[in-house]
Amino acid sequence: MIANNPVTTKDIELAERIFGQDISALKGKTTRPKPVHVVEDYIAIPPELIESQQQITLCIDAMKVNGLWFLTTISRNIYYRTAQYIENQTAAVYLEAMTDILRIYNLAGFRVTRIHCDNAFRSVMEEIENNFEGIHVNFANAQEHVPEAE
């Protein structure tokens, strides 16, 4: 104890309760926690599913989230949904996004045979129909939409 010091041990205990322990001392004295192991969450697609659902029908639409545009697709057969970020709404960007999506299905062993979409995608989908063999595109009529994609 220091003589004539107005700070008592009760004051110190009260300060520790109010402000907590010294952070720098805690950081220096504590050890690094053990990191969490990386979990492999890859699930193989059963061959029976691929065989029975080989031909895929895609429904596509564009959506805006917080000012950002996305091309969203959902398959009618297996209900697999994708959302691809679109930098701008030009045909070239949509064509690149659709090519990526079709590649995903092809790599998984599926074949997209039909695409349902709004008339807004006509120029892009006609190019897809011409460049990819076996894909038929069905455009929604005016004032109609593809309900699965929305």
Query: For residue 93, what pLDDT is reported?
Result: 94
Mean pLDDT of the chain: 88
Range of the domain at 141: 47-149
Does residue 95 form part of some domain? yes
Query: Minimum mean pLDDT among 20-29, 47-56, 65-74, 96-105: which range?
Result: 20-29
108 has pLDDT over 90 = no
d(C-alpha 146, C-alpha 118), whole Å: 7
Give strand pairing partners of 64: 69
Q: Is pLDDT above 80 for 109?
A: yes
- The percentage of the chain sitting over the pLDDT mark of 70, rounded to a whole number, equals 99
State how far Cα 7 lies from the chain centre. 58
Higher pLDDT among residues 114 and 46, named by residue: 114
Establish if 66 belongs to a structural domain: yes
How many domains does the structure of the chain reveal? 1
Both tokens assigned to 132: 């990819």
**DSSP E strand stretches across the chain:** 55-65, 68-75, 81-86, 111-117, 136-139
Per-residue pLDDT, 1: 62
How much is the pLDDT for 145? 73
pTM comes to 0.67
Checking if the pLDDT of 44 tops 90, the result is no
Q: In what order do the strands lie in the sheet with 81-86?
A: 81-86, 68-75, 55-65, 111-117, 136-139
CATH code of residue 137:
3.30.420.10
In a domain, 126, yes or no: yes
